[in-house]
Amino acid sequence: MKNTIRVERAIHNITQQQLAEQIGVSRQTINAMESNKYVPSTVLALKIAKLFGKNVEEIFLLEEED
């Protein structure tokens, strides 16, 4: 599953640490999601989407092999 978290962070001018604090996870978790090494839970995906004012489908993109 791909995502646009890094792009959204840049648009909103926030760091991985700031995002992590706002949604209650570690900076390492944000890094792992941006590197496509970690797929977030539904609740976490919803928190991220809400923070950026987007739908989950606009942030997280399902790929053929998923």
Which tens digits make up the pLDDT trace of 6-21? 999 999 999 999 999 9
| pLDDT at position 62 | 87
pTM as predicted: 0.90
| pLDDT at position 64 | 78
CATH number for 2-61: choose from 2.40.40.20, 1.10.10.10, 1.10.260.40, 3.30.70.270.
1.10.260.40
| pLDDT at position 63 | 82
| pLDDT at position 66 | 64
- Burial (Cβ within 10 Å: 0-12, 13-18, ≥19) of residue 48: buried
Q: Give every residue of the chain whose pLDDT is below 50, as ranges.
A: none
| pLDDT at position 38 | 95
Place of tokens 């926030």: 14
Domain boundaries, the chain: 2-61
